[in-house]
Structure 1
Amino acid sequence: MKIIVPMAGRGSRLRPHTLTVPKPLIPIAGKPIVHRLVEDIAAVLNREIDEIAFIIHKDFGSKVAEDLIAIAEKLGSKGTIYYQEEPLGTAHAILSAKESMSGPVVVAYADTLFRADFTLDTSADSVIWVQEVENPSAFGVVKLNDKNEITDFVEKPKEYVSNLAIIGIYYFKSGETLRNELQYLIDNNVVKGGEYQLTDALENMKQKGMKFVPGKVEHWMDCGNKNVTVETNSRMLAFLEQDGENMVSEEAELHNSTIIPPCYIGKGAVIKNSTIGPNVSIGAATTVEDSTIKNSLVQSHSVITNAVLDNAMIGNHAVFNGEFTAVSIGDYSVLE
């Protein structure tokens, strides 16, 4: 089994945090989004992951490529890096990893997290991860028949056809078939809005009689902008607490402070005269002093003093000292 992760986009809605770090490497509960994503996919698949192919932009730099390969290796997989030079659509992005498209593959966009408990239907040609949503008109949705097979893909329906939204994770029994269908779009210039779309390839595959079934998830968490990323961090902390995971590093220093769970406190963090939590992540080697922080995400090597924070997101190597509350501070920023 292989996992292909298109992640060449810059994540402009999460700026300033994505000016220096690609969105999939933003940590959620102490671990990069993309790391949690591939871990969760591996758990659902319940089979060995031979390779994880990451599709990035060359502007991300060599350090990002090294970090991604390390993530794959932590899962016992081979890490491969591909580059998408131009933003020409979802189909174009995925096809950038065509050399890795052999055998069963999962394609997963690295801006979403999920919690699910279902058995993968390996008899199907494809499984598309979906979740029930209250407002289907804001999403691409699938329509099912009485055999629980997908009969239609509908993009942002104006009238109700289904409440099963596509969350951006797909299983294909044959990577070779997916590659050929994507290549057909490129070779024949099949575009919508100037881009090559995965949904066109899915429709072509369905028309050829391939069987598509849904994989339903219980929880779908977005990381599109600051507010939803902070919310996703809170939800992930709650899930990890339910799982019994210890999220306070033994190498963190706590002095005259109260930790209200769930919280993640990273290695080498120093907390003094402060109240942290609930729903807070504090990255490695960050210092917090004389502060109260809840419902917030603070990354690594930052210094927070005299703060009262709620619904805040603070980047790496930042310095914050003040009376601000709902802040969004990028890497290397200083507010004092």
Structure 2
Amino acid sequence: MNLIIPMAGKGKRLRPHTLTIPKPLIPIAGKPIVQRLVEDISEVTPEKIEKIGFVIGDFDEEIKGKLSEIAKEVGAEAHFFVQETAEGTAHAIACANDILEGKVTVAFSDTLFRADFILNPEDDGIIWTKQIEDPSAFGVVKTNEEGIITDFIEKPKDFVSDQAIIGIYYFKKGEDLRSEIDYLIKNNIRGGGEFQLTMALENLKNKGTNFTIGTVDEWLDCGNKEITVQSNSQYLGFLKGQSLISEEAVIENCEIIEPVFIGSGTEVSNSTIGPNVSIGNDCKICNSKLSESLIQNNTSLEDVDLTNSMIGNFVNLKGQPKSVSLGDYSQW
């Protein structure tokens, strides 16, 4: 099976954190979002992932190297495709046409999930959904009594279904999806000014592809600072009971309230950490109290009392603020 991950977006809602690194490489519970996504998908599919197509923007070689390592860890080969202009979900997938063949899963990179099912590779197609109260900002599906999808509706103004499409899709025949997307692009068929994946799915359905839904238990978004911090907290909760503190971290005279992730080389002293805190590698935390926060690498915090905060790499912060969002190399 091949896996395609569109991740070329600029992550504007998560600035300043995405000014220096792409949003999919922001860590959640100690691992980049895209790594969490790849690992979680590999757990729910019984088939080996052969190729991972990363649809990227203008990423440097260091970032490509990190993505290659993520693919390698699940036994897959990384392929890179550049999306030069953002023209919709179908356009992003089309950039990876070279590996859009055979059994294919498409997963958009800011989607994390928890699911209690195993993907059936013999299904024609599976659209992963989550039941939500207000689905008006999402694409939704309607199903018949047999659980087969009968309609795809993009951002409905009036209620038609509460099954929101979360951004993960499986196709038994990737070539069929490629053909439908190519048709949309060649004929400039757009919805809302963009090439929409739901339009290709509708065409496939009308030609006999039976799509079923795979319902997830949890759907975590990473769109802006507030919900990224919340997603970090939730994901730490999923991992509670596992060993999340590096053996190479130094912790002295501290109260640790789990769940907490602390990375390699980090030194924490005279502090209360947790609950729901992720601290990256090579940080120094002293005389501080942290809860519900996400701290990246090589950052120094002293005399702070923080909650609901997101702090980047190489930050120096001492005293004062209670809730902050600081990008890389900030000083306070």
- The corresponding residue for 1:101 is 100
SS of the residue 1:161 aligns to: coil
- The corresponding residue for 2:265 is 268
- 1:242-257 to structure 2, matched below 5 A, reads 244-257=241-254
Equivalent pair of 2:51/2:76 in contact (CA under 8 Å): yes
- The corresponding residue for 1:65 is 64
- The corresponding residue for 2:156 is 157
Within 1, Cα distance between the matches of 2:154 and 2:101? 28
Q: Would the alpha carbon gap of residues 46 and 123 (structure 1) be closer, same or farther in structure 2, given more than 3 Å must change?
A: closer
**Structure 1 residue 330 and structure 2 residue 318: aligned?**
no
- 1:187-336 to structure 2, matched below 5 A, reads 187-241=186-240, 244-335=241-332
- 1:45-84 to structure 2, matched below 5 A, reads 45-58=45-58, 60-84=59-83
Q: CA offsets per residue over residues 223-243 of structure 1, 9 Å max, x none?
A: 0000100000000001011xx
Q: TM-score with structure 1 length normalisation?
A: 0.97
SS of the residue 1:142 aligns to: strand
Within 2, Cα distance between the matches of 1:293 and 1:3? 37
Q: CA offsets per residue over residues 66-99 of structure 1, 9 Å max, x none?
A: 1111110111111111100111111111111111
Structure 2 residue runs without a partner (length 5+): none
| Deviation for aligned residue 1:180 | 1.1
SS of the residue 2:233 aligns to: helix
SS of the residue 1:334 aligns to: coil
Q: CA offsets per residue over residues 13-56 of structure 1, 9 Å max, x none?
A: 00000000100000000000000001101101122111111000
| Deviation for aligned residue 1:217 | 0.3
Q: TM-score with structure 2 length normalisation?
A: 0.98
Within 1, Cα distance between the matches of 2:304 and 2:18? 24
- The corresponding residue for 2:10 is 10
Large movers: runs of 4+ above 6 Å: none
Within 2, Cα distance between the matches of 1:189 and 1:137? 25
Report the RMSD for the aligned CA atoms in angstroms: 1.0
SS of the residue 1:17 aligns to: coil
Q: CA offsets per residue over residues 105-163 of structure 1, 9 Å max, x none?
A: 00000001000011323332210000110112232111010000000011222332211
Equivalent pair of 2:103/2:121 in contact (CA under 8 Å): no
| Deviation for aligned residue 1:195 | 1.6
- The corresponding residue for 2:176 is 177
Structure 1 residue runs without a partner (length 5+): none
| Deviation for aligned residue 1:189 | 1.0
- 1:120-131 to structure 2, matched below 5 A, reads 120-131=119-130
SS of the residue 1:138 aligns to: coil
Equivalent pair of 2:128/2:168 in contact (CA under 8 Å): yes
Within 1, Cα distance between the matches of 2:321 and 2:130? 36
Q: CA offsets per residue over residues 242-279 of structure 1, 9 Å max, x none?
A: xx321000100001111110000001110011110000
Within 1, Cα distance between the matches of 2:328 and 2:226? 17
Equivalent pair of 2:266/2:284 in contact (CA under 8 Å): yes
